[in-house]
Amino acid sequence: MNEKKNRLLPLAALCIISALLGGVSSVSLLQYVYPQTLSAIEAQANLNSPGTASPVTLLANTQTDESNSPVVQVAKDVGPAVVGVSNYQTVSNAYRYGFGLGSRDNTQSSELVEAGTGSGFIIDAQNGYIVTNYHVIEKAQKITVSLSDGRNLEAKLIGSDARTDLAVLQISDTSNLTEVKLGDSSQIEVGEFVVAIGNPGGNKFARSVTAGVISATNRTLQMSGESTLYNMLQTDAAINPGNSGGPLVNYSGEIIGINSAKYAESGFEGMGFAIPITEATSIITQLIENGAAKHPALSVSVSDQYLLYAKEQNLPLGAYIYEVNPEGPAGKAGIQEGDVITHVNDVKVENSTELIGEIYKHNVGDKVTLTFIRDGQTKAVQVTLGEITS
């Protein structure tokens, strides 16, 4: 598995453009998450060693309370609702022959192989809905889930959203399913005990349990592609390859996060990240109802190249606007090229990432006040947020 530190590379301006203009944004976790993606399969033809879905690498040593009875109960209550998710993709038989895997024939054929595995959890037993990460099922041509009772079922992709790294699956056989209880991640405190459950290393290690604490909240993760995850929960509970999409659970047995990422810098330990469930819930609902999710947008292009100049000249920091769609929300409100946005409502923003993070805390149609600097003067306008659809 290619586990490199560029899982958390600085965000390029292009990412900002894509996110705010509504261009297609993709989470480029696959090269780290699925070492056996189609391209890797074709290059290496390692068809008998499917990869595992993971954000990057973890070096954590989990510390837990000596009394593990709360963890035991959480495992009993939540474990049956955790599933393995397998991503199958097509590979040509010509590649198999080229690497000595099978005999050559004159027919052009292909087959589905397991490109990677991850985790998920059942949120609606009656309807068979399962939540996982987008990067777990990205490019899948077939998806299967493995249940705690040993059943392996084909799943239907109901909807996915690359911007938030979320996806919803559905299975038709809903007999004897266990569903999770959703908690309130907005009430999480740093230091609170949590449990991560998932399938690290694939289904042979299904429903493995690790424990730790919430190390921090409101973290922003800048990915190596056109994707940024906002308001993430940070934990030292071990999140290993294959845990992606699995639940992060409090000691009350409630889901408070969806395990999605981890820090791969050599020398760092115990830095896993989860999508807060309270923010994920609205996206999950949209995916179930519409198959896609809407996100708020300004319809502007933003760059951070201004920041170096601002620091040298002792100017206020902010998000520099270098292109405006005149028919978009910000353009209609009077925002112009060259403006530097410094606040969203009363919240200070000092760069493009912070601007998008604040906008994403709102809903399509919300009115926000943007404070900005133009020609040395501070101005403010009210903007009705537009939308981007996943």
Closest C-alpha to 275, from 162, 133, 138, 85:
133
* 165 labelled catalytic: yes
| Max CA separation in the chain (angstroms) | 73
Selecting among 25, 135, 236, 303, the annotated active-site residue is 135
144 CB-near residues (< 8 Å, 6+ apart): 85, 86, 88, 152, 153, 154, 155
Closest C-alpha to 138, from 174, 88, 179, 90:
88
* Helix, strand, coil % over all residues of the chain, rounded to 5: 20, 35, 40
Amino acid at 200: P
- Give DSSP secondary structure letters for 340-357: EEEEETTEE--SHHHHHH
Which region, left, alpha or beta, applies to residue 320 given φ > 0 means left and ψ of -120 to 50 means alpha? Answer: beta
DSSP label at residue 80: G
Question: How far is the C-alpha of 141 from the C-alpha of 128, rounded, in Å?
Answer: 20
Selecting among 54, 146, 244, 299, the annotated active-site residue is 244
Is residue 149 packed enough to be buried (19+ CB in 10 Å), middle (13-18) or exposed (0-12)?
Answer: exposed
21 CB-near residues (< 8 Å, 6+ apart): 297, 299, 300, 301, 325
Closest C-alpha to 50, from 96, 89, 83:
89
270 in helix, strand or coil? coil
Selecting among 18, 25, 165, 352, the annotated active-site residue is 165
Question: How far is the C-alpha of 279 from the C-alpha of 231, rounded, in Å?
Answer: 9
Are the C-beta atoms of residues 319 and 302 closer than 8 Å to each other?
yes
Question: How far is the C-alpha of 262 from the C-alpha of 227, rounded, in Å?
Answer: 15
Strands 181-182 and 142-146: unpaired
Are the C-beta atoms of residues 33 and 136 closer than 8 Å to each other?
yes
Question: How far is the C-alpha of 181 from the C-alpha of 198, rounded, in Å?
Answer: 16
Q: Could you give the residue numbers annotated as active site?
A: 135, 165, 244
